[in-house]
């Protein structure tokens, strides 16, 4: 009993327990990582409470496939220092989200995708989250936050879909997902071979961002 506790709890704690943000190996002298700002932290709570980690991983491994698809470098312990709790996930039924903010920086895309994933990805397996949104009658003028949806997902005539606070902070959290600052323990990988580097994650039939 005690040996495994020492080996897998105590020893890693000696190595990881006192981990601090580190200067990036790149150009910036700012420390990485930084604490999530308010809205992103709230979004992290929404992410955790909806159990997104059960379909989406947030961990780029060191193999060619992961680096090509979700790169640019593998994620390391320091990346999760200020994630409370870290959500590296256990299953990848949807894309890895470690760098979601870099891959898809358009908030409107994320909101529409949360409302009805099939409006953005053909035959998506992701369940819709309509309870994060409000379908309401258009007032004097359409709300600037209203989602732009095409039929058959658009609301009926005279109605608009507006994100609730949870949806907005969740998207802020997703846009903040960028684990790509070069660190000592995670240097940017050397060039992938040209043919391997042609990885595509663009879903078939999707509208190009």
Partner 1 sequence: MSETRPTPESTASVSEAMKSSDASCRDAGLLLFWMAATWAVAGALLGLLSSLKFHGPGMGSGAVLTYGRVYPASNFLLFYGALAQAAIGVMLWLIARLSGRPLASAWMVLPGGLSWNLGVLSGAGAILTGNATGISGFEIPRGPAVMMLAGYCAMALPGLLTLMTRRDKPWYVSECFLLAALFWFPWAFSTAILFIHVFPARGMMLVLVGEWQYSNLSRVWLALIAYAVLFYMVPKLARRPLESGPTAAFTFWLTVFFSSWIAVPPGSPVPAWLQGVSGLAAMVSVAPMLAAVTNLRATCGDQAEAIRSQPGGICFLVSIPCLLVASLLQAGASFRGVADVLGYTFFEMGLHTVFTGGFVGLTVLGAVLFALPRLTGVPWGAESMISMVGKLATGAVVVVGVSLLGAGILQGFAAADVSVPFETALKRGMGPFRLSTLGWLAGVGAAVVVWMQITALGWKVCSVCCIPPLFREMLPAGKAKKAEVAA
Partner 2 sequence: MLRRVRLLPSQLMKSKSSKPPAPLIGPEPAEPQVGRSAIPLWLVMAVGVLFYLGSMYLEQTGGGFHAEVFEPHRSIKVVRDLQPKDEGGRLIALGKAKYEQTCQLCHQATGLGVVGQFPPLAGSEWVTTPGIARLTRIILHGVSGPIEVKGVKWEAAMPPFGSAFTDEEIAAIMAYIRTQKDWGNSASSVKVEDVAAIRKATGDRAPWTADELLKIPESE
Site for partner 2 in 77-106 (CB under 8 A): 77, 99, 101-103, 105-106
Neighbouring residues of 12: CB distance < 8 A, sequence distance ≥ 6: none
Instruction: Using CB under 8 A, pick the residue from 24, 39, 107, 128 that binds partner 1.
Output: 128
Q: x/- site string to partner 1, residues 80 to 119, per CB under 8 A?
A: xxxxxxxxxxxxxxxx---------------------x--
Q: In the range 9-68, which residues lie near partner 1 by CB under 8 A?
A: 9, 12-13, 15-17, 19, 48-55, 57, 59, 61-66, 68
d(CA 186, CA 23): 12
What are the backbone dihedrals phi and psi of residue 32, each rounded to the nearest 5 degrees, phi first? -130, 140
| Other CB atoms within 10 A of residue 148 CB | 12
d(CA 124, CA 207): 13
Measured from the CB atom, the residue of 106 and 134 that comes closer to partner 2 is 106
d(CA 104, CA 32): 22
Instruction: Using CB under 8 A, pick the residue from 40, 46, 53, 71 that binds partner 2.
Output: 71
Q: Is 131 in the site for partner 2 (CB under 8 A)?
A: no
92 interacts with, out of partner 1, partner 2, none, CB within 5 to 8 A per kind: partner 1
Here the tokens at position 54 are 């059960």
Whether residue 74 contacts residue 88, with contact meaning beta carbons closer than 8 Å, is answered with no
Stretch that binds partner 2, among 36-44, 81-89, 133-141, 200-208 (CB under 8 A): 200-208
Count CA atoms closer than 13 A to 165's CA, side-chain side: 5
Q: Is 197 in the site for partner 2 (CB under 8 A)?
A: yes
- Smallest CA-to-CA distance from 120 within 128, 104, 109 is with 109
Residues that bind partner 2 (CB under 8 A): 15-16, 25-28, 61-63, 68, 71-74, 76-77, 99, 101-103, 105-106, 175, 178, 180, 182, 184-192, 194, 197-198, 200-202, 208-209
């Amino acid at each position: 009993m005690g040996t495994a506790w020492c080996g897998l709890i105590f020893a890693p704690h000696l190595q990881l327990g006192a981990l601090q943000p580190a200067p990036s190996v790149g150009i910036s002298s700012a420390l990485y990582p930084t604490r999530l700002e308010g809205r992103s932290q709230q979004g992290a709570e929404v992410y955790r409470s909806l159990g997104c980690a059960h379909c989406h991983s947030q961990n780029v491994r060191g193999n060619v496939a992961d680096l090509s698809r979700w790169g640019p470098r593998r994620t390391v312990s320091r990346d999760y220092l200020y994630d409370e709790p870290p959500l590296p996930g256990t299953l990848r039924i949807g894309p890895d989200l470690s760098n979601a903010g870099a891959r898809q920086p358009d908030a409107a895309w994320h909101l529409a995708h949360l409302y009805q994933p099939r409006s953005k990805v053909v035959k998506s397996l992701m369940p819709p989250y309509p309870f994060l949104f409000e379908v309401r009658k258009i007032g004097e003028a359409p709300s600037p936050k209203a989602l732009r949806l095409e039929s058959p997902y658009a609301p009926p005539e005279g109605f608009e879909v507006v994100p609730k606070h949870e949806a907005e902070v969740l998207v802020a959290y997703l846009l903040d997902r960028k684990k790509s600052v070069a660190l000592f323990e995670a240097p940017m990988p050397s060039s992938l071979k040209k043919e391997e580097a042609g990885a595509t994650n663009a879903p078939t039939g999707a509208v190009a961002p």
